[in-house]
Amino acid sequence: MNSINKHLINDESLIDSFSKHAKSYDRYAQLQKSMAERMASLLPIPLPDYVLEIGSGTGLFTRHLLTQPIRQLILNDIAPGMLEILNNSLSLPKNTKIISGNAEHIDFENMDLICANAVFQWFRKPQETLKKLNQALKGKGKLIFSTFGPRTLVEFREAASLVSPINLYTNETWTKMIHNSGFAIKNCDVEIRKIFFPSTLTLLKNLQQIGAAPIRMLKTGGLRKLIRDYDSKFSTSQGVYATWELYYFTLVRGN
């Protein structure tokens, strides 16, 4: 999982997947909502003047930004369907600018703070993207982000041979990429969670409804076998469980 994955999902598939499930995202993205709440505790008070949120989605983290006054807020997401939900569900201040597109290919400039909740795992070239974001920040600007570690959904890799749509890097690898991009790590938290679902099918549906199902091209009968194997290995009296490894970083731009 740490090497470059030839089966990484392309932009069009990613846009289609997230836009398709935009209306159901908030209902099923309870983990991402919880991550947004924890990441919000890392925000400076007061917020600086120019704030950018990458991968804002339907606004789970944006809500926390809006609790403080911001001179200029820029919201970005790769999926127009997600941004449409955000724009219709939140009361955005007039000084908000919405930019649709892949953040890896957009040149943002002169920001004081960049935030990204549960987004960096989708980047194909995180090292280069970190360098770009470093260049987009002013002075001692900050980057705050959360992402997933390689123990995330480890049960699926044990139950079946599945192709992941993302690369999951270790904390050590992230630390190296961060330092190589010109950032200093002000804070890093690692969290391991086991989340329970009534059944494997419910777990798979949850992942599907947030546009992040880990299943790609299962052979005929493969889904039934996966459910059977998963139930047999990871079922308890409380239901089936899945592990998530969560990273929270606060970075400060160097000279």
**How many distinct structural domains can be found in the chain?**
1
Can you give the CATH number for the domain in which 25 is found? 3.40.50.150
Residue 232 forms part of a structural domain: no
CA distances from 254 to 48, 135, 140, 179, 181 (A): 18, 10, 7, 9, 9
Residue 181 forms part of a structural domain: yes
| Residues 232-243: tens digit of each pLDDT | 999 999 999 999
Q: Taking Cα atoms as reference points, which of 206, 120, 135, 210 lies closest to residue 166?
A: 120
Written as tens digits, the pLDDT of the chain (255 aa) is: 333 333 344 667 666 666 665 676 667 678 999 999 999 999 999 999 999 999 999 999 999 999 999 999 999 999 999 999 999 999 999 999 999 999 999 999 899 999 999 999 999 999 999 999 999 999 999 999 999 999 998 898 888 766 566 789 999 999 999 999 999 999 999 999 999 999 998 888 888 776 655 445 455 567 888 888 999 999 999 999 999 999 999 999 975
Residue 206 forms part of a structural domain: no
What does the longest C-alpha to C-alpha distance in the chain come to?
56
Range of the domain at 188: 11-149+166-192+245-253
> How is residue 196 written in tokens?
């329970």
Specify whether the CB–CB gap between 144 and 249 falls below 8 A. Answer: yes
Alpha carbon distance 17, 213 (integer Å): 9
Residue 197 forms part of a structural domain: no
Residue 237 forms part of a structural domain: no
pTM: 0.89
Residue 228 forms part of a structural domain: no
Q: Taking Cα atoms as reference points, which of 4, 53, 3, 5 lies closest to residue 164?
A: 5
Residues in the chain: 255
| Residues 8-51: tens digit of each pLDDT | 446 676 666 666 656 766 676 789 999 999 999 999 999 999 99
Residue 83 phi, psi dihedral angles, 5° rounding: -65, -30
> How is residue 159 written in tokens?
């139950």
Residue 6 forms part of a structural domain: no
> How is residue 92 written in tokens?
């955005």
Alpha carbon distance 11, 125 (integer Å): 13
Alpha carbon distance 185, 248 (integer Å): 11
Residue 234 forms part of a structural domain: no
